[in-house]
């Protein structure tokens, strides 16, 4: 079977839902909520563009389950008393395209900046160790048992709300150092109660609560770290145990990622051997396949149709995730499936300063998303200095507008 034919094959998930083909747009934090953290018209237009561009599965980015706990000022966030009608326009963005739109639900935990949370919450009161990052995030307060239960309920309420609004699936963000990931890691979860003795308990309870809320026929996904890549953190062996537990808990799709703000493997820090196979976490997915029959999705590092097809033939994964390349070419998936000789590109400029480039990587692609959302063409010649200056002005302004709003 040729590469295009293989990529175009539908995939039936455990719950019976079908993905139209094997290429998905993975979650990217869009920063396109309005002042009250509701979906803006620009956010709807962005997803309409991506859906028309051919993606079979679209995962939203960072919808926060608690409006008082934001990772970024313009996150979409579920209000205390949500109304599904507020999200139907977003769900309707994919109408007529055959694409599925899944909402990614998240809670930042300690990864809520000082200008948004003077005292964020976490499994344990463990501040960031890295000096530069510590200046951005205030030391967190340890959650009480009742607060943990309330957050689990918020995940379930958010999932039900978005499914009622017309979203066809739910993904739980359990990676990149956010709250679920914090519960899993011994570096950030030092509790002595059941939530600490069984560090996967929080994630599994969220999965159970969400599944009870949305029913058995709605796809439920988890994005999980393969490891924290930090000494003393969440290890690959522990992650594989969680993978097995998630399969037993009845999820439909597992997306593999890795790293935290302090060790950002999801930004491209990777072993050379894995890079040659066009996927940062493909080696881990091979191991995960041995402990679960849940459909596996790997995001990051893919560049060509042949490389994507080879990964599918290898048998380690079922779905190819594309993220930032779709901010450069929003119609990339459709062109790949049409057999066009085109590669997935990451065109972000570099300054040569590691910390600045980590921030620039996010900001440059976010600004491209905002251009697409505004109906403007992508600006691949946008330079590093211009992007950083724009971010340095817009981020504080967005935070101020949120407070004023």
Q: Please provide the DSSP assignment of 71-94 as one string.
A: SSTT--B--SS--GGGGHHHHGGG
- What is the pLDDT at residue 370? 96
Give 346-398 pLDDT, tens digit per residue: 678 888 887 787 778 888 999 999 999 999 999 998 888 888 888 777 766 56
Confidence of residue 232 (pLDDT cuts 50, 70, 90): low
Residue 98: predicted pLDDT: 95
Whether 264 has a pLDDT exceeding 70, the answer reads no
The burial class, CB within 10 Å (0-12 / 13-18 / 19+), for 265 is buried
- Whether 101 contacts 162, CB under 8 Å: no
Q: CA angle, corner 341, sides to 335 and 346, nearest 5?
A: 75
Cα-based distances in Å from 226 to 111, 260, 309: 19, 11, 22
Helix or strand (DSSP H, E) at 100: strand 100-106
| Rg of the chain, C-alpha, whole Å | 20
Q: For the beta carbon of residue 164, count every other beta carbon within 10 angstroms.
A: 17
Q: Which whole number is the average pLDDT over 94-106?
A: 97
Angle at 287 between CA 285 and CA 290, to 5 degrees: 110
Q: Is the pLDDT of residue 261 over 70?
A: no
| SS3 labels along 186-234 | CCCCCCCCHHHHCCCHHHHHHHHHHHHHHCCCCCEEEEEECCCCCCCCC
How far apart (Å, rounded) are the C-alpha atoms in residues 74 and 190? 31
Q: 225 pLDDT band (50/70/90 cuts)?
A: confident
Cα angle 224-229-230, degrees, rounded to a multiple of 5: 120
Q: How far apart are CA 306 and CA 197, in angstroms?
A: 45
Length of the chain in terms of residues written: 405
CA distance 97 to 349: 33
Task: Report pLDDT for 277.
Answer: 36
CB 140 within 8 A of CB 96: no
Q: How far apart are CA 308 and CA 304, in angstroms?
A: 6
Coil/strand/helix, residue 289: helix
In degrees, rounded to 5, the angle at the alpha carbon of residue 212 between the alpha carbons of residues 211 and 216 is: 60
170/222 Cα distance (integer angstroms): 8
Chain centroid, CA 101 distance in Å: 13
Give the Cα separation of 162 and 218 in Å (integer).
11
Structure tokens at 203: 């994630």
- What is the β-pairing status of strands 57-59 and 121-122? unpaired
**123 alpha-carbon distance from chain centroid:** 21
The predicted-structure confidence for 293-336, as pLDDT tens digits, reads as follows: 999 999 877 889 999 999 999 888 999 999 999 999 999 999 99
User: pLDDT tens across 17-28, in order?
Assistant: 999 999 999 999
Counting Cα atoms < 13 Å in the Cβ hemisphere of 397 gives 7
Query: What does pTM read for this prediction?
Result: 0.91
List the domains of the chain with CATH numbers: 3-344 (3.20.20.70)
């Amino acid at each position: 079977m040729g590469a295009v034919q293989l990529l175009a094959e539908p995939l039936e998930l455990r719950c019976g839902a079908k993905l139209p083909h094997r290429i998905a747009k993975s979650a990217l934090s869009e920063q396109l909520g309005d002042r009250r953290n509701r979906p803006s018209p620009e956010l709807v237009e962005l997803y309409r563009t991506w859906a028309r561009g051919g993606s079979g599965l679209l995962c939203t980015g960072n919808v926060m389950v608690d409006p008082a706990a934001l990772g970024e000022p313009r996150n979409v966030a579920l209000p205390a008393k949500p109304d599904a009608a507020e999200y139907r326009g977003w769900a309707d963005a994919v109408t007529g395209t055959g694409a599925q739109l899944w909402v990614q639900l998240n809670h930042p935990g300690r990864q809520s900046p000082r200008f948004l949370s003077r005292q964020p919450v976490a499994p344990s009161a463990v501040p960031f160790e890295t000096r530069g990052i510590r200046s951005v995030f205030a030391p967190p307060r340890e959650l009480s048992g009742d607060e943990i239960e309330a957050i689990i309920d918020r995940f379930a309420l958010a999932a039900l709300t978005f499914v009622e609004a017309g979203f066809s699936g739910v993904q739980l963000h359990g990676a990149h150092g956010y709250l679920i990931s914090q519960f899993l890691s011994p570096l950030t979860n030092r509790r002595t109660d059941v939530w600490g003795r069984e560090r996967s308990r929080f994630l599994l309870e969220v999965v159970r609560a969400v599944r009870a809320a949305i029913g058995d026929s709605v796809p439920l996904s988890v994005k999980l770290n393969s490891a924290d890549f930090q000494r003393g953190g969440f290890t690959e062996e522990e992650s594989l145990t969680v993978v097995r537990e998630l399969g037993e808990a009845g999820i439909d799709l597992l997306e593999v990622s890795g790293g935290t703000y302090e060790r950002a493997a999801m930004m491209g820090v990777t072993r050379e051997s894995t890079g040659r196979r066009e996927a940062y976490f493909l080696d881990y997915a091979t191991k995960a396949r041995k402990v679960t029959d849940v459909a596996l999705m790997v995001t990051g590092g893919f560049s060509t149709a042949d490389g994507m097809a080879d990964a599918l033939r290898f048998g380690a994964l079922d779905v190819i995730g594309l993220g930032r390349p779709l901010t450069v070419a929003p119609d990339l998936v459709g062109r790949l499936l049409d057999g066009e000789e085109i590669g997935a590109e990451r065109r972000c400029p570099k300054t040569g300063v590691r910390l600045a480039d980590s921030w620039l990587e996010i900001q440059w692609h976010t600004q491209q998303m905002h251009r697409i959302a505004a109906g403007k063409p992508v600006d691949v010649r946008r330079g590093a200095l211009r992007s950083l200056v724009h971010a340095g002005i817009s981020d504080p302004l967005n935070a101020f507008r949120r407070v004023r709003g």
